[in-house]
Chains A and B, each alone.
Chain A
Amino acid sequence: MTLTLELEKQKERTPVVVQTVFLGVGLAVLVLAPLFFYPVFLMKLLCFALFACAFNLLLGYTGLLSFGHAAFFGGAAYFTAHTVKEWGLPPELGILAGVVGAAFLGAIIGFFAIRRQGIYFAMITLALAQMFYFFCLQAEFTRGEDGIQSVPRGHLFGVIDLSQSTNMYYFVLAVFVIGIIIIWRIINSPFGMILKSIRENETRAISLGYSVRNYKLAAFVMSATLTGLAGGLKALVFQFATLTDVGWQMSGEVILMTLLGGIGTLIGPLFGAALVVTLQNYLATSEFPVTIITGVVFMVCVLLFRRGIVGEFYNSRLGRKLGFEHRHSH
């Protein structure tokens, strides 16, 4: 009896060590990356990684497939760009405006979407996000097809000059790490446990007395808020906000990143985002359209590779030996 307990303890301890090592290596790579790669590329990658991780909070941990996350991403980009450029706010307040705006949008879209489940949920989020797209197309402040151009990056807290790409990169990295820590806290909190129980068996969660609707809405708003963080950041990195970020293709892209990296894994979406962004950069110079590749990868992933990169790793012999365990969400 004591032996088994001891063994179990050991089994539990191993992943902590392994995770710490992985985490250390990962952070070191991210900190040193600008020495080897083009900073704007890395910043784009981190913005999309944060976007995908925030999206995964909803799909992977609550079991809700939103097809409208572009509204929060692109919406936040517009809000940040507008407040920074037109109102002259500093970058931190600009991002805050994007985050608050995305949370507000998330509350509205979520309020309607949670009234239906499963496949209908996906269709409703898609339709409402499309409505927001048309709003952005016609509204004055978004400047229609041109978008908001040459957004100044400004000085962070009035001190750090973000127009220098190294400064900007470490700012983006810091925000990314904070975002991941927030997501990690959410999914490992009692609240996160209830979200997982909703994912596994919604009816049972209801019968246990949880007001599932409120939990779903809360998860939706949190996911939208963190997506807004990524969107606001992206507006500062590229110094523009355009209709591309609110279109339905963007909602599809984030789903692909999450699926490719591993639905329901904390850092899977980071790898998915890295792969998709690299592919886009690689194909940007060629004639061949990204859409075809994206579509084919989507189909292959759904048919053969549903666990995603990180999920497959967790499930591989090596992954299990290292003590990872990954339960597939659907």
Chain B
Amino acid sequence: MTMIFGIPLQALLGQLLIGLINGSFYALLSLGLAIIFGLLRVINFAHGAQYMLGAFIAWLLLSHLGIGYWPALILAPLIVGLIGAAIERTMLRRLYSLDPLYGLLFTFGLALTVEGTFRYLYGASGQPYATPALLTGGANLGFMFLPIYRGWAIAFSLFICLGTWLMIEKTKLGAYLRAATENPVLVQSFGINVPFLLTLTYGLGAALAALAGVLAAPIYQVSPLMGSNIIIVVFAVVVVGGMGSIMGAIVTGYLLGVAEGLTKVFYPEASNIVIFVIMAIVLLIRPAGLFGRDA
């Protein structure tokens, strides 16, 4: 068997794959956080809850209405996005004139409420979600065995990340968003409906989180706690990447996922703190973050 640094190649690649999968979710979630923060100046603590909500809606659709994975992949983000937009419109909007810390506290309360409700209704244990028939099984790549669904999750999240990036960098709507990030008052004076852009952005961010949730459902168990477990790590990812750039958030997400996976091979005890350690090191060397513009 091939060995690298005394580790079997199979084990190394296996953990690399898990790292890439985790990284896909870090990237999707930190991308949404960065988009929302860029325009609204709100750190969306409810991002983890929205991710959980996406997975749960997919599970509920399947178990109660028999609606499968593919429609859920569109329906769940749509529902969560609409809920997000409604929350922005009725409540979050009132906090823009205040210190950004209040936005963080409000969304924290929102996260607690959503998570508490689902825990109350469905208990803390996870629910399995079957892999869609089209994506079951695996492929033998010669050097390793790749479950098809995991390959799909990585490819699809990459596609969504790049698509979102293109949408923001290359389309007219993206140009409005970027302009409103720089100077909302000026953009409004050009006759662009900035309040609507804000609602749209929050909805879009929430929908991205829900999409990540649906994508995660067949891999991890669908549990009310899945969101709060991941959101703190994603915060660390965001501190490392800096929220100044969309691409920065995506790249950092994948990099840190892989770093976490590799740590599992070489020093398993440290695998759940490695991202925090990297965050501390980055804070020492480059306090603004790897891709950060704002100090």
Measured CB to CB, the residues of A under 8 A from B are 65, 112, 115-120, 122-124, 126-128, 130-131, 134-135, 138, 248, 252, 255, 259, 288-292, 294-299, 301-303, 306, 330
B16 interfacial contact with A, CB 8 Å: no
B18 interfacial contact with A, CB 8 Å: no
B190 interfacial contact with A, CB 8 Å: no
Q: Tell me if A131 and B273 are in contact (CB < 8 A).
A: yes
**Distance to closest chain A CB from B32 (angstroms):** 15
- Looking at the complex, which one of B119, B239, B277 makes contact with A116 (CB distance below 8 Å)? B239
Chain A residues within an 8 Å CB radius of B105: 65, 255, 259, 298, 302
B228 interfacial contact with A, CB 8 Å: yes
What secondary structure prevails in chain B residues at the interface with A? helix
18 A-B residue pairs with CB within 8 Å: A115-B287, A119-B43, A122-B43, A124-B239, A124-B279, A127-B279, A128-B280, A138-B269, A255-B108, A289-B116, A292-B113, A294-B112, A295-B109, A295-B115, A295-B116, A297-B109, A301-B109, A330-B99
Chain A residues within an 8 Å CB radius of B99: 330
Chain B interface, number of residues (Cβ within 8 angstroms): 43
Q: Tell me if A126 and B232 are in contact (CB < 8 A).
A: yes
Task: Tell me the nearest residue of chain B to A130, going by C-beta.
Answer: B232
Q: Tell me if A123 and B235 are in contact (CB < 8 A).
A: yes
Measured CB to CB, the residues of B under 8 A from A are 37, 43, 91, 94-95, 98-102, 104-106, 108-117, 119-120, 228, 232-233, 235-236, 238-239, 269, 272-273, 276-277, 279-280, 283-284, 287, 295
Q: Given the known inter-chain contacts A288-B120, A330-B102, please indicate yes or no for A252 contacting B112, CB distance below 8 A.
A: yes
Q: Given the known inter-chain contacts A296-B109, A302-B95, A303-B91, please indicate yes or no for A127 contacting B102, CB distance below 8 A.
A: no
Count of chain A to chain B residue pairs whose CB atoms are closer than 8 Å in the complex: 116
**Distance to closest chain B CB from A293 (angstroms):** 8
Q: Tell me if B280 and A112 are in contact (CB < 8 A).
A: yes
What secondary structure prevails in chain A residues at the interface with B? helix
Q: Given the known inter-chain contacts A130-B232, A330-B99, please indicate yes or no for A119 contacting B104, CB distance below 8 A.
A: yes
**Distance to closest chain A CB from B45 (angstroms):** 9
Kindly state the separation between the CA atoms of A303 and B94 in the bound complex, as whole angstroms: 7
Q: Tell me if A299 and B113 are in contact (CB < 8 A).
A: yes
Q: Given the known inter-chain contacts A115-B283, A123-B238, please indicate yes or no for A295 contacting B110, CB distance below 8 A.
A: yes
Chain A residues within an 8 Å CB radius of B119: 289, 291
Task: Tell me the nearest residue of chain B to A64, going by C-beta.
Answer: B101
- Which of A116, A135, A289, A301 neighbours the largest number of chain B CB atoms within 10 Å of its CB? A116
